[in-house]
Amino acid sequence: MIGNAQKYTLAMNMKLEAVLIDSSVIQKRVEELACRVAMDYGNDPPLLLPVLTGSFMFVADLARKLPFDAPLHFVKVSSYGSSTTSSGNVVVSGLERIDVSNKRILIIEDIVDTGHTIKALLEQIKQKGPRDVKVMSLLDKPERRQVEVQADYVGFVVPNKFVVGYGLDCDEHFRCLKDIYTISEE
Ligand code: IMP
């Protein structure tokens, strides 16, 4: 089941459990999301604001499927929690270098989990006077939500399990897998 992901045998006490979303399913969904964005934004492309590091693979695929030339700036969000859960202490960096005023902003996230990260980012961006701001998240884990926030575009709703691959990591492991997996303790 794990196939070419065997090489990712783990340092930590976590191992890949099962494929949750296969790469072909991911690619098809990314195509659909790109079509939605193209329809919704028409001739007025948004500034893409992917959140490092988890969204790097997603935004690379998404951006190449968009029919327009959209500007793109990465922002980094650090949240001080454990390796598998975030906390309310969210620090955004990179935003100070980006002029978002009067622009259409599309935040690109890997996953909305507790919601703290996206809520903090949205608040900071809104203070800088964008024309509009929306959120696209590859994954949504609504069972874990602690604050009220909802992405405008969601790739997949996932169960309350820690997931890795396609940009998502566990302590910097598993990020470069092309499929999305659940993990379990060894
Ligand atoms: P939130 O602030 O709890 O919504 O979580 C935001 C960040 O935590 C995401 O952008 C991810 O980087 C990380 N995260 C949350 N759940 C998972 C998961 O299941 N796998 C990998 N990273 C996760």
CATH number for the domain spanning 65: value is 3.40.50.2020
Assess if residue 85 is contained within a domain. yes
Q: How far, in Å, CA of 1 to CA of 29, rounded?
A: 22
Q: Which of 168, 171, 175, 177 to mutate to test the pocket of ligand 1 (most atoms within 8 A of CB)?
A: 168
Q: Which of 21, 108, 110, 145 to mutate to test the pocket of ligand 1 (most atoms within 8 A of CB)?
A: 110
Ligand 1 neighbour 115 (Cβ under 6 A): yes
At 12 the pLDDT is 64
At 142 the pLDDT is 97
pTM above 0.85, yes or no: yes
Burial of residue 116 (CB within 10 Å: 0-12, 13-18, 19+) is buried
Q: How far, in Å, CA of 43 to CA of 110, rounded?
A: 26
Residue in 161, 34, 183 with CA at minimum distance from that of residue 106: 34
More confident residue, 11 or 134: 134
Assess if residue 15 is contained within a domain. no
Assess if residue 172 is contained within a domain. no
Assess if residue 2 is contained within a domain. no
What residue's CA is closest to ligand 1, atom 22? Answer: 168
At 88 the pLDDT is 60
Residue 140 tokens, joined = 């949504």
R_g (Cα) of the chain, nearest Å: 16
Which domain range does residue 120 map to? Answer: 23-161
